[in-house]
Amino acid sequence: MDLIHKIKNTIIRENLIEKHDKILIGLSGGADSVFLLNILIQLQRDLDFEIYTCHINHSYRDTALRDENFSRKISEENNIQFFSKKVDMKQYSIDNSISLEDSGRILRYKYFNEILKSEDFNKIAVAHHLDDQVETFFLHLFRGSGIDGLCGIKYQNKNIIRPLLDVSKVEILNYLDENDIDYVTDETNFVADVQRNKIRLEMLPYIQDNFNSSISESIYRTVNILKDSKEIIDDVTNFKYKKLVNQENGEYFIDVNLFAREKKSVKRNIIRKLLIELNGSNQDIRMVYIDDIIELFDLKNGSQYVFKDYSFFKSYDKVVIRKNLNNKKNQSVKFELGEISFGDFKINSYLTENTNVKPSRNKMIFDSKILSNNLFLRKRKNGDRIKLKGFTKKVKSVFIDNKIAQIKRDNYPILSDEENVYAILSLKRSNLYMKNDNSKEVLVIEVTYEK
Q: Is the pTM here over 0.85, yes or no? A: no
- Tell me the C-alpha to C-alpha distance, in Å, between residue 191 and each of 29, 66, 187, 197: 19, 20, 7, 7
Give pLDDT, residue 325: 62
Q: Which CATH superfamily is domain 3-215 in?
A: HUPs (3.40.50.620)
Q: Where are the domains of the chain?
A: 3-215, 249-323, 332-449
CB atoms < 10 A from the CB of 67, how many?
22
373 burial level (CB within 10 Å; 0-12, 13-18, 19+): middle
Strand order in the sheet with 160-161: 82-86, 50-57, 22-26, 123-125, 160-161, 156-157
Q: Give the model's confidence band at 199: pLDDT under 50 very low, under 70 low, under 90 confident, else very high.
A: very high
pLDDT in tens, 297-342: 999 888 888 888 888 989 889 999 988 765 444 467 889 898 888 8
Least confident of 19-23, 301-305, 364-368: 301-305
pLDDT of 233 over the 60 cut: yes
Give pLDDT, residue 202: 93
Cα–Cα distance measured from residue 216 to residue 214, given in angstroms and rounded to the nearest whole number: 6
Instruction: Map 322-352 to HEC letters.
Output: EECCCCCCCCEEECCCEEEEECCEEEEEEEE
Mean pLDDT of the chain: 90
Span 80-109, average pLDDT: 87
pLDDT in tens, 418-448: 889 999 998 999 999 999 989 999 999 999 8
Q: Binding-site residues, please?
A: 28-33
Q: Return the bridge partners of 84, or none.
A: 55
Cα–Cα distance measured from residue 331 to residue 118, given in angstroms and rounded to the nearest whole number: 41
CATH number of 332-449: 3.50.40.10
Q: Binding-site residues for ATP, please?
A: 28-33
Give pLDDT, residue 327: 47
Q: Give the model's confidence band at 186: pLDDT under 50 very low, under 70 low, under 90 confident, else very high.
A: confident
Domain 249-323, what fold? Answer: 3.30.465
pLDDT in tens, 172-184: 999 999 999 999 9
pLDDT of 228 over the 60 cut: yes
pLDDT in tens, 369-380: 999 998 999 988
